[in-house]
Chain A
Amino acid sequence: METDTERGLKERLESICKGVRWDVVRMIGLAGSGHPGGSLSCVEILVCLYFYKMRHRPSDPQWPERDRFVLSKGHAAPTLYSVLARAGYFPREELWKLRRLGSMLQGHPDMKRTPGVDLSTGSLGQGLSAACGMALGLRIQRNPARVYALIGDGESQEGGIWEAAMLAGHHRLTNLVAFTDYNSLQIDGPCCEIVSLGDISAKWRSFGWEVYEVDGHDVLEICRTLDLADNASSPTMIIAHTVKGKGVSFMENSVEFHGKAPTREEMERALREIEES
């Protein structure tokens, strides 16, 4: 059951998601390269974080008490950039310079170049470890800020993810909340055919994490789960079941659009679809 407030929240967040999807398709289309599939699958997650959950100040990106976000699956950078621009970290015009020489928006997130990016990522399997480091650092400082991270399902094949899982569980990092963008596809095909993740929830639980499974495109479910995680007695993993390429019919569940930009014609078609949705 949705309350009136929730209905208002849902409308607000979904409207931002629609805008972010439009940005993402246009950014990658204009850049002529990038990763549309895994960028579109995590739109709701990032929008709920930056426009609902996280305490942050776009006018003061280095605010010491801000909640942190680590995009461990760094190839979804366009989604992060659009969200940061819409939150007010930098002008939206910057988005159209993605991946160009001299742009503040690199192919993968760069904390030294882009206001609002808390950690440089791109090489998979490292961001979650760094998020653990942040959570440990904040805990040592008695800083109440929290750390959020997003990993990919394909990325979960990296051993480093499980090294981080073990460390966070051991230290009971209650200030750490991670999402898995479970869109079920990786570059070479379906994850279950390449190297299956098996019972992913059981895996995280066995490492000492509190685990939730959500529909990764249901903003209210994501928000409610994020609220639950505030009171966790261990690190939290939210397995978000998503659709790769979500929101653009010919990109949905397509392996091809993992790392391929739309042509100009495809881009125009995708933008129209998003506008009419």
Chain B
Amino acid sequence: MIPDKGTRHTRDAYAEALLELGEKDHRIVVMDADLAKSTQTERFKERFPERFIDCGVAEQNLMATAAGLAATGKIVFASSFAMFATGRAYDQVRNTIAYSCLNVKICASHGGITVGEDGSSHQALEDVALMRLIPGMKVVVPADYYEAREAVKTAAYVDGPFYIRLGRPKFPVLFDEGYRFQLGKALLLRPGKDVTILACGIMVYNSLVAADILAREGVEAEVLNVHTIKPLDEEAILASAAKTGRVVTCEDHSVLGGLGGAVAELLSEKLPVPLKRVGIQDRFGVSGGVEELMEHFGLTPEHVAEAARSLLRRSL
């Protein structure tokens, strides 16, 4: 059973990490593109107005300006919604930030279908894939408040570009104050021998619930929190896949190019085992409530459990 620790916003975690960073390091500069209330960078602005720059509704300018700031020695956190930070400003992120390995940390909120009612134009379902394609970019999708907070603090001192995807809704809390984030190290949350479930973001919680469902049916699922999509923890994933012989990936993102895509690439080259990718099946999003959308697009714990069952049936 998963202990109930309530729910919290990963965006709040971002704001708190920024305040802590800004307090002790004068190189920290925070930028936004007219979404400071939503991304929560507003709290940094209130405390350190001289180190906060709002570019207005101009995400391309946000990213290229961030690159220039980083070129003068700043550690820049640049925020917008995941759709605009990665989609609209892709060229700026690729060519002006990442190509020169500049210290810009893109922390984007509102990733995934869980944006909800705003609908397709605001539901980034390919942001992780876009960022993962860029050489040298680190990509992290935190599962809860504490993981988000620690990932942000880690990003500040890992040289070069970094992408962190935050959510709109509150995520179930999984960890606690003492949580230690390790970039590039998948975290074993539940050991098992029958099937491996790899998850990131809000789907980590759903995977743990799915593992409970499966346990009641006599299936021992191993759950790994793959918070770092790049660099991917190949060793841990291959070891688990070798043990169970079946892998399910779970993400609030397109099954193309994100966690599922990365794992498919890895397994097909190094350890071809049956794989099922839970995520958005190459479709655009739609408006709706978060719970309704999770059901509609097949992201509930029951969907994850069913994906695992289908693999188990296949190998009987």
Contact = CB atoms under 8 A, between A and B. Distances in A.
B154 interface: no
B74 A131 contact: no
A140 B51 contact: yes
B29 interface: yes
A138 interface: yes
Sorting the interface of chain B by its residue count into under 10, 10 to 19, 20 to 34 or 35 or more gives 20 to 34
A137 B73 contact: yes
Nearest to A125: B60
A234 interface: no
B95 A133 contact: no
Contacts of A249: none
A118 B61 contact: no
A7 B99 CA distance: 43
A119 B96 CA distance: 8
A133 B60 CA distance: 13
B69 A137 contact: yes
Nearest to B66: A133
A68 B74 CA distance: 15
B315 interface: no
Interface residues of A, number: 34
Contact of B64 (A136, A160, A166): A160
A163 B67 contact: no
B65 A130 contact: yes
Contacts of B60: 125-126, 129, 159-160, 163
B56 to A, nearest CB: 7
B92 interface: yes
B101 interface: yes
Contact of B58 (A118, A133, A143, A163): A163
Nearest to A160: B60
A129 B64 contact: yes
A135 B68 CA distance: 8
A111 interface: yes
B275 to A, nearest CB: 36
Interface string B90-108: 0110011001110000000
A42 interface: no
Interface string B47-70: 000110101101011011111111
B71 interface: yes
A49 interface: no
A82 interface: no
A68 to B, nearest CB: 8
Contact of A120 (B55, B61, B95): B95
Interface in A114-147: 118-123, 125-127, 129-138, 140-141, 143
Interface in B69-83: 69-74
A9 interface: no
A112 B101 contact: yes
The 8 closest A-B pairs by CB, nearest first: A133-B68, A137-B72, A129-B64, A130-B68, A163-B61, A133-B65, A163-B58, A133-B69
Interface of B: 29, 50-51, 53, 55-56, 58, 60-61, 63-74, 91-92, 95-96, 99-101
5 contacts: A122-B95, A132-B61, A140-B29, A163-B61, A164-B64
